[in-house]
Structure 1
């Protein structure tokens, strides 16, 4: 598995919120499309580890809930107060509570202490009374032989059960620390679908669909899975303006150039791949460059035959081209003829992009037999989405550059592999900290939530055929969900800029060469391209940074006829 895949598999154990969102997005709706996986990331092992982590967590919560319930039943009112204070401490381990200012945190302490301690004290008082009315009593006899029930209080046994609950919670953390070290070490293999037979069909679909060339997006962002947009620009050139026409008495009588966008895409692809395949010296090759076609379409489909349906509705034979009539699932792959038809019809509901992906993975440096620097995975994925359209005798060139940041630092577990067994147990203790109190005190509530999620996942999914509109589109990418907020390392940001500039320059030069071969006047195109690239319009967190100086909020357009539009994915950040 690639590093990003391993790290996100680790995230299934490290972050409950991450695991729950992955399972809800991927498994709750079996008809939901799967976003493409960029840069070698594999979604299937992450889903399998999320399921495994959920099962392990379920076992822990069942055992802890039983022990905690028994401790509560055997505790006195004083014990109830102790448990309520522990619950209060657990509440302050929540991320939302830790983000509050100091003053609000103090006020929250006083309010929660009243809202939680008082009701729980009353509950344990009721439990004490109920023990007189149930089997929890010790019979005593007076001199007249009358039996009197006396409540039996077992504070020591209650504390022992509470200690066992904490031991189980801590043991759970030790177990998954060893799991991370054994199953997710560098070079680990992906899991198998038969590990989760209940979801075998869905997992098989995910394994195939993530490598497809059709993106059904559900959040108005067509580049789902590719990260945030770093640059976006477009250039327009007139195809009827041929070279040497100024002052030409035969202007308007010369044959017009016929530009086939499919042929232009093939030419651009060849020129881009030459950076990888036609370079003599290995050190100069862009080794991690990959190009593929991508069809983007909004994943909300309308049933075309809805007004004519009288009997039971089914997706079979309903005629929508992007729904498989045999399974009712979204299609994820299109053949060359389909791709070419979309390229030649840019005004349709499907948009074609040529996706150019470069992973910033540094190869090793050697001087003969001496290794000077080992290979290093920077984990940054730079993608350029190229759209070429011929409309109204105009050639429209659009380039959108996205950057997928590395995986979150807290998911990167490579430091665990250098630890011995004792040190790994110590790391589990250190990682637990005050979270251990939350693990115990929230176990019953978490158990109810997990059971509800399992029931929701096991029930029959809604039949899309029962709706006029159905949202098939993917809402976010798991790789984006587990990504860092941004590329924090300076060298990573520089690499992202470097590869985006390389791809853009190669693209514009290829388009110019192609147009000039057909005799099209390209001075206007060159002028726009120079303005767009030299101004280096880059998207940052609070606006758009222009190398020529200054930062502005909102879109920036550079050059005559050029546009720059900012987009944000808005998911997993």
Structure 2
């Protein structure tokens, strides 16, 4: 039997729709947010020269598919309305003027009614305050006069719109009643076109909430290329560019010095935790005599390859996804990521456009000085992808020392506006009918949006160009729509403990597995155990809000303490 829904329309645990929550909400967003839809189409789909960032907690292809569907429905509807207006311009200009006048009357009457209602409310409150001898804020008087002026202005617009058809009829020798009748009929035709478009629009929108979020069976070459890029492990990042030193004042330099939010992990969200400096362990022999020289106690040749440790850590983390329902981390994925800086890829290497073999990845792991950096990635989607915790670990062996570089990133919830259909009754046919009627009631505004058709040829041209077989340049990835539509980390106070909980689970498991691996290869783990314990105990300090405060301190030669009020944000 199907699980019941709560009174607030939220999805109960076990509902299959909850598994793709982030994907569904982003698909909903391309219908409700035109700016977001344009970003998906123009800066993701239509930009074949840049690599698509990895998608964490959601699937990109359905979002692009629904963005095109929403754009197509809206463009066809607008084109049909524009066709009616162009036909009137060609065969009956008087009727076109009358149609515009009717739409203007529709708009100005609605605005005049709204401002008149507000003005009456404010006026009644003013009379009551005078009668009761209560003090009144000056702003309320200003607001009342502003509403009154707007009411008069819109009423004047109503008068102009009312007399325009009659004057036009007199100029062309028509009966004003006939011209009014034609204008009303034509406006009704436009309203029907808008209603049909809105019905298709709402049906497609509601299919996001009620239907299956399967990948399209067949797509364009661009869609196939995007899917291929999502599958490959390569990620291109851009190093932050520092402005000239003379262009910065001391305050800006200090704030940039303290800024630890810069991240190379494109698409993974906010960098919320990192081991700085990385954990380093000298490769000393197990049970060595401390009285002996260092050269005698250390491994001259490492007893293991870096890629062997990476594979052992990956296997240890994957066990968290294979355990029973009560103890596993649902949705956990573990994979290799290969990061390269955009500036280092200017020569467009041939290997970049093919799948790396296991031997290629092992060779990159074992080369700590190469241009490409390997990170073991463990990603955990929470709440159907609404929250995502992603852990990155780089293992290098150099200078007879093991180095572990750990970083954790977080993606927070999608905007609340994209959750509109999750509310009680908002996904029903009645709600869809109300949305269609609301679109018709806003008919003048819908007609005013015909100007958006001006960019339709550019969007189509970009889509055609993106279908070519051009290989992407090794440039920093296109816009990460998931990062762009995440709630700011500072506003996710209730979600931060949940994300840190999962980060801590994987962090401690990696430390334990690394210690076991070193012990199995006869490496002294006393120093490793001491550093690991410090990381675990001081995690609350490392996992703060990603900021460091330096108070009453000076850094550098000839430095001076700054008054906290001089630093932006500390006023």
Q: What's the TM-score once normalised by structure 2's chain length?
A: 0.69
Q: Is the 8 A contact 1:227 1:403 kept in 2?
A: yes
Structure 1 partner of 2:61: 44
2:380 to 358, 364, 367: 358
State the distance in 2 between where 1:193 and 1:404 align: 30
2:104/2:161 contact within 8 Å kept: no
RMSD (Å) for aligned C-alpha atoms: 4.7
1:74-106 CA-partner distances (Å, limit 9, x unpaired): 2399769648858999xx9xxxxxxxx999999
Equivalent position of 2:76 in the other structure: 59
Question: What does residue 441 of structure 1 align with?
Answer: 448
Q: Which residue of 2 aligns with 1:211?
A: 231
- Deviation by residue 1:289-308 (Cα, 9 ceiling, x = unmatched): 2211011123457664xxxx
Partner residue of 1:24 out of 32, 38, 42: 42
Contact map agreement 1:217 1:475 (CA 8 A) in 2: no
What does 1:509-524 align with in structure 2 at a 5 Å threshold? 509-524=512-527
What is aligned with 1:571? none
- Pair 26,117 (structure 1): closer, same or farther in 2 beyond 3 Å: farther
Cα 1:9–1:80 shift into 2, 3 Å? closer
Contact 1:360 1:381 in 2 (8 A): yes
Secondary structure of the structure 2 residue equivalent to 1:411: helix
Structure 1 match to 2:266: 224
Alignment of 1:9 with 2:27, yes or no, is: yes
In the alignment, what sits opposite 1:450? 456
**Counterpart residue number, 1:566:** none
Aligned match of 1:296 in 322, 326, 339?
339
Which of 513, 525, 528 matches 1:525?
528
CA distance in 2, matches of 1:167, 1:58: 16
> Contact conserved, 1:293 with 1:352, CA < 8 A, in 2?
yes
Q: Which residue of 2 aligns with 1:73?
A: 96
1:247 Cα offset (Å):
4.1
- Tell me the distance in 2 between the aligned counterparts of 1:189 and 1:355: 25
Match of 2:315 in 1: 270
Change (3 A) 1:246 1:159: farther
More strand by share: 1
State the SS of the aligned residue for 2:360.
Answer: helix
Q: From the superposition, tell whether residues 237 and 27 of structure 1 become closer, same or farther in structure 2 (CA, over 3 Å).
A: closer
CA distance in structure 2 between the aligned counterparts of 1:248 and 1:130, rounded to whole angstroms: 107
What is the CA deviation profile of residues 196-223 of structure 1, one whole-angstrom value per residue up to 9, with x for unaligned ones?
xxxx111111122212211134586532
In 2, Cα distance between equivalents of 1:267 and 1:518? 12
**Comparing 65-74 with 390-399, which one deviates more in the overlay?**
65-74
- The one of 320, 333, 345 equivalent to 2:349 is 320
Counterpart Cα distance in 2 of 1:471 and 1:105: 56
1:410 aligns with 2:417: yes
Where does residue 33 of structure 1 map in the other structure?
Answer: 51
Q: What is the Cα deviation at residue 274 of structure 1?
A: 2.8
Distance 1:109-1:533 versus aligned 2 partners, 3 A rule: farther
Give the SS at the match of 1:230.
strand
The match for 2:432 is 424
Structure 2 distance, partners of 1:434, 1:10, is 22
| 1:372 alignment counterpart | none
Which TM-score applies when normalising by structure 1? 0.68
1:253 maps onto 2:296 in alignment: yes
Question: How far did 1:474 drift?
Answer: 1.2
1:302–1:129 Cα change, 3 Å: farther
Query: Following TM superposition, by how much is the alpha carbon of 1:383 offset from its aligned partner in structure 2, in angstroms?
Result: 1.1
Instruction: Report if the CA contact (8 A) 2:280-2:402 is conserved.
Output: yes
1:544 and 1:459, CA in 2 relative to 1: closer, same or farther beyond 3 A?
closer
For 1:83 and 1:247, the matched residues in 2 are separated by 91
Unpaired segments ≥5 residues, structure 2? 1-16, 89-93, 116-138, 241-262, 552-571
- Name the SS of the counterpart of 1:252 in structure 2: helix
Q: Distance in 2 between matches of 1:105 and 1:445?
A: 33
The aligned residue for residue 255 of structure 2 is none
SS class of match (2:272): strand
Q: Distance in 1 between matches of 2:268 and 2:85?
A: 45
Where structure 1 has 5 or more consecutive residues not aligned to the other structure, the ranges are: 93-100, 140-149, 195-199, 305-318, 325-330, 362-376, 546-550, 555-573
478, 486, 496: which one pairs with 2:499? 496
- Compare the two structures and name the one with the higher helix fraction: 2
User: Could you say which residue in structure 1 is the equivalent of 2:203?
Assistant: 178
Aligned residues: 475
2: CA distance between counterparts of 1:46 and 1:452?
Answer: 20
Shift of 1:254: 4.1
